[in-house]
Structure 1
Amino acid sequence: MRLSRKVTTPHGRGRKEWTEPPFWQLDLFRQSWQTGSTSDRERIENDFSGYVQAAYKTNGVVFACVLARQLVFAEARFAWREFTDNGRPGDLVTSPELALLAKPWPSGTTGELLARMESDVSLAGNFYATTVDAAGNVGRAATGPGRRVVRMSPDRVTIVIGSASGDPDALDAHVVGFDYQPRQGDPVALLADEVCHYSPIPDPAARWRGMSWLSPVLEEIGSDKAATIHKRRFFDNGAVPSMVVTFDKDVQPERFERFRAAMDARHRGAHNAYRTLFLGGGADVKTVGTNLLQVDLTGVQGHGETRIAAAAGVPPVIVGLSEGLAAATYSNYAQARRRFADGTIRPLWRMAAGSLQNLLTPPTVGASLWYDDRDIPFLREDRRDVAEIQFRQASTIRQLVDAGFEAAAVTTAVAAEDFTLLRHTGLFSVQLQRPNTTPPPTDVPTPV
């Protein structure tokens, strides 16, 4: 579904543009998760608030996965980076413009901004933000005192698509801007370069919006909640295998009801588990069904938890899930930590930096926003690897200098990993000189 509208350009010419619907409307798979609940089940709604209420706030595995991502993702800082002439990234530098990210809003921090970004991306697939100032100016016009970053609720943002050819699926189609609909008042129109749009997981059903990692595992989330309800019902209804009580055919309905009420009062619920059962009046008890051990609820629920963690890009041992806490698995924590940092968090940092740069003005033309992860305790083991790499580089530098290469060129070549930058002095180690072949120095004064 696309919505079309006529837009007047600043030059007065009319142009047709289209808007992408909110992030859930194209996902037909989620139609089975529409709002609905009964006394013993709860389904995730196919909108942002549904993901928040029915998944994030009521499912411990989803919450733990989002929290694990948040706690590490929020540790980064930002700096500017330029590329050298040989195409390699240069040193990280700072500028006064970065104060907007260091304190994105009054009493706010970079960590809180990153935590909000991660929360919205996990639950909606998209994070939107722009800038405002104390005078109420928005976007690029927000240059006055009190300039701050403001988050835009993802379920209130519409991506506006423009195409000069009149076809939103044409090759020249592009994002013109964003419409934000507040709870009250008129929509606010923002140009594409005035909004930070962070969407690390592309939605294959749309060209520009992102997708929540929760979407592929909705069934696992529902199964996990059902298993939790099953355990709760087990304790609520007896904490022992289900029983069938039969009576003689001559028992009157009134006596049956009194016996049933007394049975429930004395033996139903976890607080009545394992109490001795006394029967009379021709009652007979038979055990039916299975217990939790026979169902292997731990194994069944553990597999579902692992699938949820896999969709989140978080190894189970990092989250603390049951399948990741076995001795053999827990011994591989270092490998799991590196997988989580290199395969999930660092790509997210890179994309977040590129998205946030829309809100800033680079100090130079070639500068780009980058993340600084050098002081993050979670990555401390990586610093040891860096130190080992630097030690090997220092050894390489010394060997090349001893071999007669120019010291400055050696340092540049090793840092750039490009040995074509080496330049030789023409001088060699004495071990490479033939005896009595070294020419006498020419700068020695002639004796008088």
Structure 2
Amino acid sequence: MPRLLRRLLDRFSPAPGAPLAGAAERRSATAGAFVAWSTPGRPVWSARDCGAFAKEGFQANAIAHRCVRLVSEAAASTPLLLYDGRRELTSHPLLDLLARPNPHEGGGVLMEAIYGHLLVAGNAYVEAVQLDDVPRELYVLRPDRMRVVPGADGWPEAWEYTVGGRSVRFRRAAGRLSPILHLKQFHPADDHYGFSAMEAAATALDLHNAASAWNKALLDNAARPSGALVYSGAQGAGLSDAQFTRLRAEMEAQFQGAANAGRPLLLDGGLDWKPLSLTPKDMDFIEARAAAAREIALALGVPPLLLGLPGDSTYSNYAEASRAFWRQTVLPLARRTGASLAHWLAPAWGGDLRLEPDLDAIEALSTEREALWRRVNAASFLSDGEKREAVGYGSDRS
């Protein structure tokens, strides 16, 4: 192949010592015979950081945006039950704090922000404002502004939050409640930061966004692929500079853009139109875009059937896909977040406090819960207390 390329280049290169052609002659040469040599370029991927995931994923991609909204809103709508040991508590300062974490937002908004940051950035940070060593308010901080400061032993000793050119350092004090709760997704190659589900879908995101941009550009150009105007006039004749400039200006003004869609192109004087680009059918455009959308949904834990994506038959019906979504994605996230919040805040009040999602409040799991109640109620060898524990309640309430 290199020998063939060299022979072609030598054929169209001037002989050694030959004078170079003038400007007009060079213009004529461009209308003569030529060889176009092209190879596929290297792919250009978006940056792999929190800001890029927020911009290229959540803000610019409809599939990723909907997946994050589905998971975060579903998890935030799941009530958390508070237990002290095996006893359920219906009234407690921790429940009041989670219901009204600060004067500006309710508990649902706070939890939705936590889950959203975990999905997009892989990390979520919650600040506790304390009074007399008791947390009074909770705030979610942006992960892209937070930096973990490791200590001599490798564990975080502080967190530095930077905004507007100013930095605030939150230090961990021995024997006191940590001012920051750092929630993170599992990352096998990082000691201090979590791995974003959006990063696992980054390649599919780039493909899906590029396909959308390509489709938009195609529509802006009257849904026609690009091409070339070939001049086939008399031998040795070519377009002058003035003719070339005028033709290009007319093409840009009268035939480019969505406003000129469908306008006929009138050619004369030996001009002919030759399309160069591949058609969407040749590129398998639609199928590639659908495959990228399914990969994005898979990485974020949402069954494609819930998004109305074509070509997915993993689940037989919508209800089955919805139950899988709750069981495999939402509930594990809610349980882990509730356990982290309880482990962080419980020492302020003492006791063996833990937070668990209320499965009875999830409509998608109502058929499963009904079947469980029926089986437990039919078990005559169980006492009332044992039946309560079997369905997820403690043996006593207070």
Q: State if a TM-score over 0.5 links the two structures.
A: yes
Match of 1:51 in 2: 53
Structure 1 residue 194: Cα displacement: 3.6
Match of 1:380 in 2: 363
Match of 1:73 in 2: 75
Q: Percent identity?
A: 25
Q: Give 3-state SS (helix, strand or coil) of 2:334's partner.
A: helix
Question: Is 2:107 aligned against 1:121?
Answer: no
Cα pair distance change 1:364/1:45, threshold 3 Å: same
Structure 1 residue 209: Cα displacement: 3.0
Q: Distance in 1 between matches of 2:349 and 2:167?
A: 37
Question: Is 2:227 aligned against 1:243?
Answer: yes
Q: Distance in 2 between matches of 1:269 and 1:182?
A: 41
2:54/2:120 contact within 8 Å kept: yes
Question: Is 2:376 aligned against 1:393?
Answer: yes
Letter matched to residue 336 of structure 1? A
Match of 2:102 in 1: 105
Q: Distance in 2 between matches of 1:304 and 1:155?
A: 26
Q: Give 3-state SS (helix, strand or coil) of 2:172's partner.
A: strand
The match for 2:144 among 138, 151, 155 is 155
Q: Give 3-state SS (helix, strand or coil) of 1:187's partner.
A: strand
Cα pair distance change 1:413/1:141, threshold 3 Å: closer
Cα pair distance change 1:393/1:292, threshold 3 Å: same
Cα pair distance change 1:390/1:414, threshold 3 Å: same
1:43/1:54 contact within 8 Å kept: no
Letter matched to residue 77 of structure 1? P
Match of 1:94 in 2: 91
Q: Cα deviation per residue 1:284-317 (whole Å; 9 max; x = unaligned)?
A: 2233332223322110011111111111111112
The match for 2:169 among 182, 187, 206 is 187
Structure 1 residue 391: Cα displacement: 1.7
Structure 1 residue 395: Cα displacement: 2.1
Q: Distance in 2 between matches of 1:344 and 1:74?
A: 13
Q: Give 3-state SS (helix, strand or coil) of 1:188's partner.
A: strand
Work out which structure has the larger RCO, using CA pairs closer than 8 Å and 6 or more positions apart in sequence.
2
The match for 1:335 among 305, 309, 320 is 320
Structure 1 residue 46: Cα displacement: 4.0
Question: Is 2:48 aligned against 1:62?
Answer: no
Structure 1 residue 251: Cα displacement: 4.3
Question: Is 2:331 aligned against 1:350?
Answer: no
Q: Residues 187-206 of structure 1 correspond to what in structure 2 (within 5 A)? A: 187-191=169-173, 193-199=178-184, 201-206=185-190
Q: Distance in 1 between matches of 2:368 and 2:60?
A: 40
- Structure 1, unmatched stretches of 5+, are 1-40, 85-89, 169-173, 401-408, 418-448
Q: Residues 137-152 of structure 1 correspond to what in structure 2 (within 5 A)? A: 141=133, 147-152=136-141
Q: Distance in 2 between matches of 1:282 and 1:150?
A: 71
- Structure 2, unmatched stretches of 5+, are 1-42, 391-398
Match of 1:370 in 2: 356
Letter matched to residue 202 of structure 1? F
Question: Is 2:272 aligned against 1:288?
Answer: no
The match for 2:239 among 249, 252, 255 is 252
2:322/2:364 contact within 8 Å kept: no
Cα pair distance change 1:323/1:66, threshold 3 Å: farther
Structure 1 residue 337: Cα displacement: 0.9
The match for 1:216 among 197, 200, 208 is 200
TM-score (norm 2): 0.75
The match for 2:305 among 294, 305, 317 is 317
Structure 1 residue 181: Cα displacement: 4.4
* Aligned-residue CA RMSD (Å): 3.0
Cα pair distance change 1:283/1:384, threshold 3 Å: same
Question: Is 2:215 aligned against 1:231?
Answer: yes
Q: Distance in 2 between matches of 1:214 and 1:220?
A: 10
Q: Cα deviation per residue 1:71-130 (whole Å; 9 max; x = unaligned)?
A: 21220222212444xxxxx54633133111101111411110111102211222111112
Structure 1 residue 56: Cα displacement: 2.2
Structure 1 residue 360: Cα displacement: 4.4
Q: Give 3-state SS (helix, strand or coil) of 1:227's partner.
A: helix
Q: Cα deviation per residue 1:272-294 (whole Å; 9 max; x = unaligned)?
A: 33333322112122333322233
Match of 1:446 in 2: none
Cα pair distance change 1:131/1:97, threshold 3 Å: same
TM-score (norm 1): 0.67
Cα pair distance change 1:102/1:182, threshold 3 Å: same
Letter matched to residue 296 of structure 2? I
Q: Distance in 2 between matches of 1:255 and 1:330?
A: 62
Cα pair distance change 1:55/1:414, threshold 3 Å: closer
